[in-house]
Structure 1
Amino acid sequence: MPDSYAERVSFRMAPLWSLGMLLAGLFLLQTDGVHADGEEPLGSPFLQRSVREAIEQVDKAYKETRANQKERLSKRSLRSSDLLRFFKHPMAETRIAVRSAEYMESTLRLIQHHVHRVHKRSLNASDLLTPSDLNTIAEVTGCRAIRQPPICKDDCWSNRYRTFTAVCNNRMHPRLGSSNTALTRWLPARYEDGISLPLGWTPGKRVSRYTLPLVRAVSNKILKTSNENVPLDLETTNLFMQWGQWIDHDMSLSDVRVNEQLGVLTFHTVFLREHNRLTRELKRLNPHWSGDTTYLEARKILGAFQQIINHRDYLPLVIGPAATAKYLPAYKGYDESVNPSIANVFSTAVFRFGHLSIQPKLFRFGANYQEHPQFKNMDLHQTFFSPWRLIREGGVDPIMRGLLGKPSKLQTQNKMLPDELREKLFKLTAHLAMDLGSLNLQRSRDHGIPGYNAWRRFCGLSQPKNAYHLFQVLKNRLLTRKLMALYRTPDNIDVWMGGISEPFVKGGKVGPLFACLMGQQFKNLRDGDRFWWENKDIFTVRQRSALAEISMSRIICDNTGIQFLPRDAFKFETFPRGYVNCNQIPKVDLRAWKEDVQVTPCGSIPVVDHGHFSICKSSVRYTCESGFKLVGGDTLTCLSNGQWNIAPPGCEEPQSIGSQVAQNGIGGPTGNCSQPIPVSLSAPKKSAFSAQLNRWEFAMSYPSKSQADLES
């Protein structure tokens, strides 16, 4: 979720102004017919009225926004801003957290406004309140409940699998790195009003003595590149670019963006197939496993695959060998003092470096790695939110061959962002499209990200003060002149703009600034992850040895009809040179996951009719087949005397039950599935966009509930 003010202020333990200092000058103005004749502490009626007024304002804004959106939807008169709001609309629990944050931020704004009217000075609301006041506001608005640390289990099974939300990964700080928590900040935020107003929001207001340029002006004058004759990076494949987006979505968006474009949809499809392939193999090796155990083990292995491919094969090509050696040396073990949370600057700027390596076309190749005779290459904007093409136009294989057999776009200082991404991003109609470059620049300002030089200082790099110094960094006179003409000072350059302008580090695809920030982020993700694949408590020595054989090429071989491909899927080769048959690419030996159920200190593990079991150290946990009820204790423990601590449980005969719908339970899905509804592969009567618009309208109507909640 976006970094809310509620999260930012909650860690401020020592406000600059004490409550006592305020009592001498703060008088309540007439509010709702109430007038204060004397001093009143901030902590009682004043706070209550502020919170109540803030909730009313936010609820009114939601209601008016919903009405406006419904009107524009009915008239099909959407604007680009509506489209962006639709794509970014939070879902489920995130929606509740965002609304609570808005309640708290609005409360603090009202307090700041009232105090400003009395003192005639600009003061941050968080500097005016004690920690007790802030906690009171957080509790009333709902922010405190969202940030309440959960109780973490500490048994063999909870130490084996990470939770779906990453809660309790760090047992000292259970919410570190989990979903629905704020992005972390490595530098203090910079907002125009000290709260949330982006720099450059107020026309004419100066930052470091100069006004900030409009982001669209920066895009037009620096980023603009035609779709034709884009420079090619003959070192990396188009799949190298696509992996970056896959990892970015994995850390921030997950499955909700699966249909964004056909390349990322192809990745989702292939990795879903790989998960299912793993479950089939694991179930064959361990027929006593339940569906939940099989699913969780496959999920755990697939997570390790991604960690290995990303850190071993992808990142060294991006940040270069020097930064890799500095930030990602040999793994030394889990460090619970490391915060694995995604940094604000990484999410909003650094990892968006890959946008400059996107080709303006989607390539679809046949078996000979030439344009498919039936399914032609297409402009990128034709692939946005069009999953039907994957079903009706050849499946994943032509797209995957296009990713493997075509180089990525080369990031250069004079040809940055093709018009396909600047003029036609998410284009759905003739008048609905966005500019990816402008979005990246404005996003950093919305998040209060400090400027270019602040981050150069953070990384121990020089901070250019004028055009001459900036040229010494960028080594490009024309680009330096353009940047200085727009920003007037290097201090004001947006960090994404500055980062993508730097020449590459040796052996990498980013400049020194992004190599530093990216290296630090991925180091934190590795060292602060209790379930990192190299942690000796997560996989056995034999399993880690087997996992090390994985490659992206092997995953493609096992889940597509492609037979010939580069041994390293990230490094570009011209077919057929450098291409090998799939039988030459090593496989992961899953026999390392086979459990021996016959040999334990307590003898063979008891088998229960209609039951399943899983082993964790000296304990065995039982579950029953769907529809059967477990009778007795579910966990047996092998004692030091060679005896089981209790008798094994049983599974009762199923009772007569009606049709059930599969439900997501703790640890995995539960329940029986009714017969699937036949799906027609013909062109849908409603477009995918129309269906998403309907879901958007629903979310606007019920911002604090999921659709499943209402249907139930």
Structure 2
Amino acid sequence: MADGKIPTSVTVQHIPPIPTVSKYLANPSISYTLGGKRNCILTSLRKMSDDAFSNGIYCFALQYFWTCFMILFVRQNPLWGAANTPLVRWLPAEYEDGEREPKGWNRGRLHNGFQLPSPLEVSKKILRSSSKEEDDAYSHLLVEWGQYIDHDITFTPQSSGTAAFWTGVDCLTTCENIHPCFPIETGDITSDAQGCMPFHRSVPACYVSCGSDIGQALQRQQMNAITSFMDASLVYGHTPKLEFFLRDLSGLNGKLAVNDQFKDPKGRPYLPFVATLPSACLQDPQGERVECFSAGDSRVNEGLPLTCLHTLWLREHNRIAEALNCINGHWSPETIYQETRKIIGALHQIITMRDYVPKIIGSESFERYIGSYGGYDPTTDPSASNVFATAAFRFGHATISPILRRLNESFQEHEHFPHLRLHNTFFSPWRIVKEGGIEPILRGMIGTAATAVRADMMLTEELTERLVVLNVPQHLDLAALNLQRGRDHALPGYNDWRTFCGLKSIKTLEDFKEVVRDGRVAEKILEIYKHPDNIDIWLGGLVENLLPGSRTGPLFACLIGKQMKTLRDGDRFWWEAEGIFTMQQKAELLKGSLSRIICDNSDVREVSPDSFRFRKYPSGYISCDHIPSMNLESWREEKSQDLEQCGTPRKIKNGDFILSSTSGKLVAQYSCYHGFKLKGAAAIVCEGNQWSDQPPQCTGTVHNLFLSWICFITFVCNEYGMLSMWCT
């Protein structure tokens, strides 16, 4: 609305008619709960009832905003990049039985004449490291941003139950391969009496294009539970229900909800707590309970740095919303919220593509695989790939430091809150509330060098021996979990992916030594795997020599680069796309930086202009007063003559409106919040100095019946574990 070129206020995405339940879905505020539900489910519903959905299913979305979470990013292919759809495969899956049994499932099965090594054996002999070196070029904030933005792109849920579906076997205790349990053998690596590490397989996904590729449809696929797009879904949520919970709807100000129990020492807000209490997060044994925080992504509490970044973006949204409200007092709360969300999404895209990705894959690979922006391409599938989510973007695990440093205003170790071992930072939000807020951790990320990537120093023992996962009664090994996850997902081997990227295939030890700087590591890997074609993709990509100016080798640079290009070019709401922002707004957005966001939303007063680059304080640090900032005046919109004549449309309970211009007329488009049904005219027009109709009402809750159908069909469509995913 800010650019004055708003298209028709409502865009309708039609899905072919299928049952009576459509009468419950006429309300645009709840009809987009269908987003991401796959064609096979809709087809099954159509077969189950002749009259149901007689009027069709619609996904209503305000074209100008990102209101529809799941299926309107790509008009021609609405399931591309949608939540709860399969991760795409760039190479065919490799299951031992061709359909669902991963490599290593049938013990004694040979691959290229040899048994695959246990992931725990690989971890101990190759990946585990008791020491790490520093990367003098980049700060630890670069590492943490990688994890943060990954949570905006991919989330592959694991089977939710602890017991195998048919037998009742507990996956936490069994060493038997029985779906969904795929335990990791310890062999003679430890003296653990159990003899294995628990592992739940990823939730299977129903194949999207039913009937188009019977071979792929029969194979087990894995789900991306969130939208693939860089859309700041980890701030706002990927479902209407979660968005509803995260918004401050009582304040009528377009803001996000904040914690009503705790604030930081300067009165700044924290994230709200989760709805279900008591939560599972760890507690201060000597103090008041601090529950798990809630954000747009459920992994917000995994580590303190991640929680800090989530907190920054909550505060940034509310800061911008307040400023826009001051600039445009005639905007409705919904307009303020949606326009702020648009800005926040754009900043995520800019920081990632401009400041982060070139440092990870190098400028040469960036030009080769991504290049300059040429506009939205409707033929590009922006869906996250299985190999990106399961292997390539997990390169960052090798860059995690075993120590979380907490620094004071002079960027020295904090006198009251000393450094922490990494395992003491997992699921511990109480440390933010009770130990100085987010500032000591932010300074630690900015003022500490990242961990260098070396083939002989991969994952810290904090991750291979002390990894904490809630509801699992033992420490886990992240390296072993990554290797097993790749096998669970049936990823082809290292050599197949090198061929995919046009790189030389590894056939001999000498070939391998050419791409792995440390010849001893190459020897160890082939000694364990016996055959180059057996090497797991995550391990092979991790040990490659880094490209100049990058933090990845040729293979991961290729895979990450290709994925980032599809995420950008296949997103019609990308910040640079035509009609999304005005030229003046784009110029202001380019002034945005993570350093500026830290300055605006914390008590950190000195930063590096590029906080991803490591500088030893005070060299290279400048006052926040000198960090460029956006001028939100570019979003100022004068009150139109029509609005002056007709007056501001009346606010409705449990809903709101957004103004747009259609065929030269001012239109107020109403929608209801999640769980409410629109009764009355969805749109009213300013005509003859008055509105064409009375505002509608939002009444009742209307989607439970539909969800019961979806839950049932989803259970039929998938093997195990899906019922709870859809019934929430």
Instruction: Give the TM-score normalised by the residue count of structure 1.
Output: 0.68
Identity percentage over the alignment?
Answer: 39
Report the alpha carbon displacement of residue 293 of structure 1 after superposing the two structures with TM.
1.3
Q: Distance in 1 between matches of 2:649 and 2:48?
A: 51
Asked if 1:326 is matched to 2:368, the reply is yes
Match for residue 620 of structure 1?
666
Residue 703 (structure 1) aligned with residue 714 (structure 2): no
> What pairs up with 1:12-27 in 2 under 5 angstroms?
none
Q: Is the 8 A contact 2:62 2:68 kept in 1?
A: no
| Counterpart in the other structure of 2:510 | 468
Task: After TM superposition, give the deviation of residue 605 of structure 1 in Å.
Answer: 5.7
Q: CA deviation at 1:614?
A: 2.6
1:288 aligns with 2:309: no
Which residue of structure 1 aligns with residue 123 of structure 2?
219
SS at match of 1:426: coil
The 3 A distance-change label for structure 1 pair 653 and 465 is closer
Q: Which residue of 1 aligns with 2:20?
A: none
Give the secondary structure class of the aligned counterpart of 2:666: strand
How much has 1:405 moved relative to structure 2? 0.6
Question: What is the letter of the counterpart of residue 505 of structure 2?
Answer: Q
1:198 partnered with 2:240: no
Partner in structure 1 of residue 466 of structure 2? 424
CA distance 1:258–1:320, change in 2 (3 Å): same
Secondary structure in 2 matching 1:421: helix
* Code of the aligned partner of 1:573: R
State the 1:469 CA deviation: 1.1
Q: Which amino acid counterpart does residue 79 of structure 2 have in structure 1?
A: R
The C-alpha deviation readout for 1:504-543, integer Å capped at 9, x for no partner, is 1111000000000100000000000000000121111111
Letter in 2 for 1:606: C
Write out per-residue CA displacement over residues 292-321 of structure 1, whole angstroms, 9 at most, x where no aligned residue.
111111111000001001101100000001
Which position in structure 1 is the counterpart of 2:646? Answer: 606
Matches of 2:444 and 2:701 in 1, distance apart?
37
Aligned to 1:184: 88
More helix by share: 1
Q: Where do 1:546-695 residues align within 5 Å?
A: 546-598=588-640, 604=644, 606-608=646-648, 610-611=650-651, 614-616=659-661, 618-622=664-668, 634-636=683-685, 644=687, 647-648=690-691
Deviates more, 1:584-593 or 1:334-343: 584-593
RMSD: 3.6
Cα separation, partners in 2 of 1:215 and 1:164, compared to 1, 3 Å: farther
> Contact 2:362–2:550 (CA<8 Å) still a contact in 1?
yes
Query: Are 2:62 and 1:158 equivalent residues in the alignment?
Result: yes
- Cα-to-partner distance string for 1:249-268 (whole Å, 9 max, x where unaligned): 11124411111111111111
| Rg larger in structure | 1
Q: Is the 8 A contact 1:225 1:416 kept in 2?
A: yes
Q: Report the CA distance between 1:501 and its aligned residue.
A: 0.6
Q: 1:261 to 1:186 in 2, by over 3 A?
A: same
Q: 2:146 aligns with which of 229, 240, 244?
A: 244
Assess if the C-alpha contact under 8 Å between 2:407 and 2:440 holds in 1. Answer: yes
Looking at structure 2, the residues matched to 401 and 185 of structure 1 have their Cα atoms a distance apart, in angstroms, of 40
Structure 1 distance, partners of 2:395, 2:318, is 32
Distance 1:416 1:260 in 2: 21
Q: Which amino acid aligns with 1:422?
A: T
SS in 1 for 2:428: coil
Say whether residues 1:175 and 2:82 are aligned partners.
no
The Cα shift of 1:326 comes to 1.2
Q: Does residue 526 in structure 1 map to residue 568 in structure 2? A: yes
Contact 1:614 1:621 in 2 (8 A): yes
- More relative contact order in 1 or in 2 (CA 8 Å, sep 6+)? 2
- The farther-off stretch of 207-216 and 352-361 is 207-216
Residues 1:322 and 1:605: Cα distance change in structure 2 (over 3 Å):
farther
What's the CA shift for 1:431?
Answer: 5.7
Correspondence for 1:313: 355
Amino acid at match of 2:485: R
Equivalent position of 1:537 in the other structure? 579
Distance 1:429 1:183 in 2: 26
The DSSP-based 3-state class of the residue aligned with 2:691 is coil
CA distance in 2, matches of 1:139, 1:209: 48
Matches of 1:392 and 1:201, distance apart in 2:
46
The 2-side partners of 1:489 and 1:428 are apart by: 37
How far did residue 162 of structure 1 move?
A: 2.4
- One-letter amino acid matched to 2:466: K
Cα pair 1:150 1:174 within 8 Å, conserved: no
Partner of 2:226 in structure 1?
none
The structure 2 residue matched to 1:409, chosen from 451, 466, 470, is 451
Residues of 1 paired with 2:531 and 2:381: CA distance? 33
Q: 1:703 is paired with a residue of what secondary structure?
A: helix
Which secondary structure state, in structure 2, belongs to the residue aligned with residue 210 of structure 1?
A: coil
Contact between 2:404 and 2:422, CA under 8 Å: does it hold in 1? Answer: yes
Structure 1 residue 231 corresponds to structure 2 residue 117: no
Does the 8 A contact of 1:288 with 1:614 survive in 2?
no
SS at match of 1:479: helix
- SS of aligned partner of 1:234: strand
Give the distance between the partners of 2:142 and 2:48, measured in 1 at CA.
44
The unaligned stretches of length 5 or more in structure 2 are 1-32, 156-233, 235-296, 652-656, 705-719
Q: 1:389 to 1:139 in 2, by over 3 A?
A: farther
CA distance in 1, matches of 2:703, 2:435: 33
Number of residues of Structure 1 aligned to a counterpart in Structure 2: 528
Q: Is the 8 A contact 2:607 2:621 kept in 1?
A: yes
Match of 2:293 in 1: none
1:124-144, CA deviations, whole angstroms, 9 ceiling, x for partnerless residues?
xxxxxxxxxxx98898899xx
Aligned ranges for residues 18-167 of structure 1 at < 5 Å? 151-153=58-60, 158-167=62-71
CA-CA distance at 1:589 after TM superposition: 1.1
